[in-house]
């Protein structure tokens, strides 16, 4: 269980970007695997059974599926779609899938889920260059994938995480949020929180004052563009556990 009513799981507990030496320095995706607290790859059948039980005996109403980057884009789309399809079939719950942007954008049309997350992490290229070199290299592809995914899944059903507090340029960040909002995409601001065991475990989180300022300004942009996170059907945006953006929307 994750948040109030969402079942969340990571399908592939490894990331090809890390294998290439280009992984996000703040990411802890492989820590639980190294600690032998999970397995490398979960099967569609196992996740579907867990989802069925979570719906029947628990209080889960939607599902979030995350993953590390696969070595092959087509395989990533195929596996995530198969898992999502089996979960929807077994539990009747809507499913959110997070993916890395494929080189061939047509693969997005094969993705079977209700909502999609393609996470930019930062609209400041210098932040990406320093902390997420793999995403720095694919930043152009990410924006194209976000736009295409929004065309396929519809307004407010595609989201992108925006980490706050990594030294990002404020105006560049707000401009990026405005641009994706105009495409019907939800920018999901989250204050950076260091994870023990990662390269950035000692990096400080942002101040409350900075976080409040950015949440307020991003909420104002959302209101101006007419996008509401509450319309999102499944996943991180619907959960709201990692971001206060919905609360700030009530104040602007």
pTM (predicted TM-score): 0.95
Could you tell me if residue 152 is inside a domain? yes
* CATH number of 219's domain: 3.20.20.70
Could you tell me if residue 102 is inside a domain? yes
Tens digit of each residue's pLDDT (9 = 90 or more) over 64-81: 999 999 999 999 999 999
Give the number of domains in the chain.
Answer: 1
Burial of residue 3, with CB atoms counted within 10 A of its CB: 0-12 exposed, 13-18 middle, 19 or more buried: middle
Could you tell me if residue 19 is inside a domain? yes
DSSP 41: B
CB atoms within 10 A of CB 57: 8
pLDDT at residue 1 is higher than 70: no
Q: Could you give the CA distance from residue 176 to residue 227 in angstroms, rounded to a whole number? A: 15
Could you tell me if residue 223 is inside a domain? yes
Could you tell me if residue 27 is inside a domain? yes
Could you tell me if residue 107 is inside a domain? yes
pLDDT band at 3; cut points 50, 70, 90: confident
The CA-to-CA distance between both ends of the chain, in Å, stands at: 31
Could you tell me if residue 1 is inside a domain? no
Strand-pair partners of 98: 117
Tens digit of each residue's pLDDT (9 = 90 or more) over 209-240: 999 999 999 999 999 999 999 999 999 999 99
Could you tell me if residue 205 is inside a domain? yes
Q: Supply the pLDDT for residue 4.
A: 83
> Contact at 8 Å (CB) between 65 and 43?
no
Tens digit of each residue's pLDDT (9 = 90 or more) over 158-178: 999 999 999 999 999 999 999
Q: Could you give the CA distance from residue 216 to residue 138 in angstroms, rounded to a whole number? A: 29
Q: Domain span at residue 204?
A: 6-249
**pLDDT average, residue stretch 189-210:** 98
């Amino acid at each position: 269980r994750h948040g109030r009513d969402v079942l969340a799981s990571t399908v592939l507990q490894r990331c090809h970007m890390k294998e290439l030496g280009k992984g996000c320095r703040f990411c802890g995706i492989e820590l639980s695997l190294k600690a032998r607290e999970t397995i490398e790859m979960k099967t569609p059948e196992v996740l579907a059974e867990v989802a069925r039980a979570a719906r029947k005996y628990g209080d889960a109403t939607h599902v979030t599926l995350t993953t590390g980057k696969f070595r092959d884009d087509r395989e990533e789309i195929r596996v995530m779609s198969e898992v999502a399809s089996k979960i929807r079939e077994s539990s009747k719950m809507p499913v959110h899938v997070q993916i890395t942007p494929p080189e061939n954008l047509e693969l997005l049309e094969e993705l079977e889920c209700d909502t999609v997350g393609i996470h930019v992490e930062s609209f400041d290229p210098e932040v990406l260059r320093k902390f997420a070199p793999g995403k720095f290299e694919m930043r152009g592809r990410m924006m194209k994938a976000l736009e295409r995914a929004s065309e396929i899944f519809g307004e407010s059903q595609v989201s992108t995480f925006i980490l706050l507090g990594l030294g990002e340029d404020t105006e560049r960040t707000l401009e990026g949020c405005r641009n994706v909002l105009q495409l019907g995409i939800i920018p999901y601001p989250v204050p950076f929180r260091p994870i023990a065991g990662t390269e950035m475990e000692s990096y400080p989180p942002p101040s409350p004052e900075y976080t409040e300022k950015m949440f307020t300004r991003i909420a104002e942009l959302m209101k101006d563009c007419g996008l509401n996170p509450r319309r999102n059907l499944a996943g991180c945006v619907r959960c709201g556990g990692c971001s206060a953006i919905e609360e700030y929307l009530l104040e602007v």
